[in-house]
Chains A and B, each alone.
Chain A
Amino acid sequence: MRIRAFGPAVAGGIVGVLAIAAVWTMLSATNTAARFPSIPSIFDAIVDNFQSAPILSYSTFGTGGVWSNTLWTAQNVLIGVATGLVIGFATGLALARIEWFHRLGRLPIAILGTVPVLALLPFLTLWFGNSALSTNGLVIFFTAITVASTVQSSAAAAEVKYADYAATLGLSTNRTTGSIILPALLPSTIGVVRAATAFGWGFQCIAEVMGGSQGAGRLIRSFSDATQTAGAIGVLIVIGIVAVLCDALIGLAGRWIVRWNE
């Protein structure tokens, strides 16, 4: 089924990309290069700035090119998601399994969940200055909150489904958590990690555009400040490709981990 669906999906994707390219070409033909640069000029900008982007040294005394800055962003997104996953998973599990923690933590975490993520950006800059944490703090926060909430509700559902059965097997609470609740959480956790990673690229780039010293977002701002729109769009394309590849790898790993759920 999946193999049969793969062909049409790839064909559909290619047609979609060609359609966007056609629309873009029409727009670039009727507008200035500063607003809608031509597709060849975008690819030229990627190639020219791939290893080293001179614009960085003019605007921020920074170094590197499209590739190194994209890697920096990717690394921070993945570190942010991993950190948020650990914090969120532990918090969600504790909320579901430890009564006193549930009583203490439920309301504060529910309130934190309503905070608009981007509104935290000035505070992160204030608290962590120019460090990596001030930019990937948004990714950590968003991932932790979404994972905690998902893990809590999934653990509660697993408890309803399996707790009585586990009790008839004479399992302790710890053994029930380790052998039954944790594996039962994997499918929903992998799903939410993929979603958090997808949003993470956006949060990380926004944070870098607003105040980062490195990364794809910082490079986009430098190109944009210099009205080198082709360069800015080129960075967007490269980061988009890296994000899609990362998502595919996470998806593959996730499918293998929960292969029993197919």
Chain B
Amino acid sequence: MTITTSSTHTRQALTRTAAIELRNVSKQFRLESGELVNSVNSVSFTVDPGEFICVIGPSGHGKSTLLNMIAGFLPPTSGTITVSGSPVTRPGPDRGVVFQRDTLFLWKTVSQNIEFGLKARGVPKDQRKTIVAELLQTIGLEKFANAWPKQLSGGMRRRVAIAAVFANKPEVLLMDEPFVGIDYLRLGQLHQVLLDLWQEAEKRAVFMVTHDIDEALTLADRIFVIKHGTLALDMKVDLPRPRRTEDITSPQANELRRHLLQEFSR
């Protein structure tokens, strides 16, 4: 187990182009009363290409705000955000986002949903068909290629949503609690689909907000704990991959879990 601070990792990453880099990023919101609230306070970190980051922390402490700023939906009040060396000024196809809410286009079939971003970018039809077929196989929905989203279960729709984002080959994948409300059995399948897609898509960094410590331990290379708008902990997860139930219940994993819970209650 390795527990590092954000500054340690920032120093290590200075020599290469980070997938995501935040420098002293802060975000203030003005309440209706006129009072200013600091949602994110001078957060700095770097995420390397291909790294899987899970962000956990109490509700309302700035996790989603952080993700929305990286996505370009919200501008930071101060500080800089870069993705693959380019400053983030607005949303763009280099940052794919899997939202908590369902964003599948109901009037498009499963294939058409996955294909949509590629079509928008002018990818030739033959190439699109190949990419879609590969992704359908990875997510295990080949038989549902021509189904409407309304004909799918919640878990299947999540799989399609993730595949649709991966199809565009974004530099980084941002996920805001994408598996909320999914039962435990389907959650395992979805994690596997996500990991398969992530491992096939080399050098795609993933930045995922979650409330679930077990989910973070299953998926992440590093876990960030965000508390009161600051990066309270940057913890490396040295568990072997693929992580089975025995791996995330091992003494080593329990030590990481204990450390996270301690940070939560501090």
* A positions within 8 Å CB-CB of B: 161-162, 164-165, 167-171, 175, 179-180, 183-184, 186, 258-262
Docked pose: A162 CA to B104 CA in angstroms: 9
| Inter-chain contact B91/A168, CB cutoff 8 Å | yes
Instruction: Find chain A residues with CB under 8 A from B29 CB.
Output: none
| Inter-chain contact A169/B93, CB cutoff 8 Å | yes
Instruction: Find chain B residues with CB under 8 A from A259 CB.
Output: 148
Chain A interface mostly: helix
Q: Given known contacts A170-B120, A170-B121, A260-B150, is B97 in contact with A165 (CB within 8 Å)?
A: yes
Residues in B126-177 with C-beta less than 8 Å from chain A: 148-150, 165, 168, 170
8 pairs of residues in contact across A and B, judged by CB atoms under 8 Å? A164-B99, A168-B93, A169-B117, A170-B93, A170-B121, A175-B120, A179-B116, A261-B150
Instruction: Find chain B residues with CB under 8 A from A183 CB.
Output: 105, 107
* B positions within 8 Å CB-CB of A: 71-73, 90-93, 95-97, 99, 101, 103, 105-108, 116-117, 120-121, 148-150, 165, 168, 170
Docked pose: A186 CA to B108 CA in angstroms: 13
Instruction: Find chain B residues with CB under 8 A from A261 CB.
Output: 106-107, 150
Instruction: Find chain B residues with CB under 8 A from A262 CB.
Output: 150
Q: Given known contacts A175-B120, A260-B148, A261-B150, is B105 in contact with A168 (CB within 8 Å)?
A: no
Q: A164-B71, A168-B97 are in contact. List 19 more A-B contacts (CB 8 A).
A: A161-B103, A164-B73, A164-B99, A167-B72, A167-B91, A167-B92, A168-B93, A169-B117, A170-B92, A170-B117, A171-B120, A183-B107, A184-B105, A258-B107, A260-B106, A260-B107, A260-B149, A260-B150, A261-B107
Q: Given known contacts A183-B105, A260-B106, is B150 in contact with A167 (CB within 8 Å)?
A: no
Docked pose: A164 CA to B67 CA in angstroms: 13
Instruction: Find chain B residues with CB under 8 A from A186 CB.
Output: 107
